[in-house]
Amino acid sequence: MKFGTKAIHAGIEPDPSTGAVMTPIYQTSTYAQEAPGVHQGYEYARTQNPTRSVLEKNLAALENGQHAVCFSSGLAAMDAIIRLLNPGDELISSNDLYGGSYRQLVRVHGRYGLVSHFVPMQDLGSIAAKINSKTRMLWIETPTNPMLSLVDIKAVCTLAREQGILTCVDNTFASPYLQNPLDLGADIVMHSATKYIGGHSDVIHGAVITNNDSIAQQLRFLQNAIGAVPGPQDCFLILRGIKTLHLRVERACQNAEKIAQFLRNHPKVRKTYYPGFSDHPGHAIAKKQMRHYGAMVSFDLHTDTLEYATTVLANTQLFTLAESLGGVESLIGHPATMTHASIPLEERYKVGLTNSLIRLSVGVEDVEDLIEDLGQALDRL
């Protein structure tokens, strides 16, 4: 089955009790038992919920996995994955990581004895240099935020597998439509379904997908034992969002390509970061492991001041100034003061994250309107 068909049909049957074509929201905390221990597979809704079960089957299919386990947020999903590790274990990740993931690794799991290293993962040598006998997991994010660097998933997974190290890919930025890390050798895929999978900026949700039965069993245990489960209405909203995932991402990628081209030719823009450009350092990797080049575009202004950035941010009408990404609506953000404010200035500048860097999450509106909106905001400079 191809992707669009899976998005709409995989794991989804008319509801067995009523024939409802769309998966109902089973808004219940418990289920009647005929006799003690005699039931239809559902006992208590932290452990099992039919709306959630359908979503998990669907998500597994989208990532070409056997098992999916859902959580109340992307970070709750990550927390469950990291709990597969033990105190004293080491993890290697990117120095250009989602801020919330960095915070959880260092300030939450660090307190319980996890040691995390952050390296430029585009450079395989920098990963190999940090591997030792305690290394248990590589945590990959690609494309990265907001610099849109590419990590070669297959190469990193091959390196890890040779040494018995698990790999997990945070696939949030690409979405399952653009990239399927399990096919490239990853052990685990994690999503903040809050972003492209949900796609309508109306729900917080997380998911983990794997082909490894033992990992799936441990995650299922953690889902129930810790209890960071999504409610049935949230699962319904994610299921509804998924039905148009391929259409939304396809259109958003087309829009992003045209916007990136417009920005690259604009006299007020010094540099545009977009993996679809043939001179982007990760272009060949993106071409190899992604279906399209994504719908995130970052750009830097010709004069590097906060004032310049603020002028653009304050004057777009269609692009809303907000955190997050992956919704149908276009968003504009300022990493230096918003998502990456906690990173020291020198560290930011080392990777090109300047005060005038602007990040776009391109939505599915008509691209002519989006370009006109950016053009009039840039004209104020």
Ligand X SMILES: *Cc1c(COP(=O)(O)O)cnc(C)c1O
Question: Residues 163 to 182: which contact ligand X by CB under 6 A?
Answer: 170, 172-173
Question: Residues 97 to 116: which contact ligand X by CB under 6 A?
Answer: 98, 100-101
Question: Residues 63 to 92: which contact ligand X by CB under 6 A?
Answer: 73-75
In this structure, are strands 206-210 and 188-192 parallel, antiparallel, or unpaired? Answer: antiparallel
Residues contacting residue 179 through CB under 8 Å, at least 6 positions apart: 142, 153, 171, 289, 290, 291
- 75, 108 in Cβ contact below 8 A? no
- 118, 91 in Cβ contact below 8 A? no
**Closer residue to ligand X in complex, CB, 173/308:** 173
**Closer residue to ligand X in complex, CB, 67/359:** 359
Q: How far is the CB of 204 from ligand X (least distance, A)?
A: 5
**What are the C-alpha distances in Å from 113 to residues 107, 121, 328?**
11, 23, 40
Q: How far is the CB of 25 from ligand X (least distance, A)?
A: 20
Structure tokens at 21: 């074509």
Strands of 17-173, DSSP E: 67-71, 90-94, 115-119, 135-141, 166-170
Q: Is 335 exposed, middle or buried (0-12, 13-18, 19+ CB in 10 A)?
A: buried
Q: How far is the CB of 78 from ligand X (least distance, A)?
A: 7
Q: Which range binds ligand X by CB under 6 A, 94-102, 222-230, 247-255, 271-279?
A: 94-102
Which residue numbers are catalytic?
A: 46, 98, 170, 195
**Closer residue to ligand X in complex, CB, 173/273:** 173
**Closer residue to ligand X in complex, CB, 3/98:** 98
**Closer residue to ligand X in complex, CB, 351/381:** 351
Q: How far is the CB of 139 from ligand X (least distance, A)?
A: 10
Sign of the torsion angle spanned by Cα atoms 338, 339, 345, 349:
negative
Q: How far is the CB of 261 from ligand X (least distance, A)?
A: 25
Question: Residues 183 to 242: which contact ligand X by CB under 6 A?
Answer: 192, 194-195, 204, 206
* Contacting residues toward ligand X, per CB under 6 A: 73-75, 98, 100-101, 141, 145, 170, 172-173, 192, 194-195, 204, 206
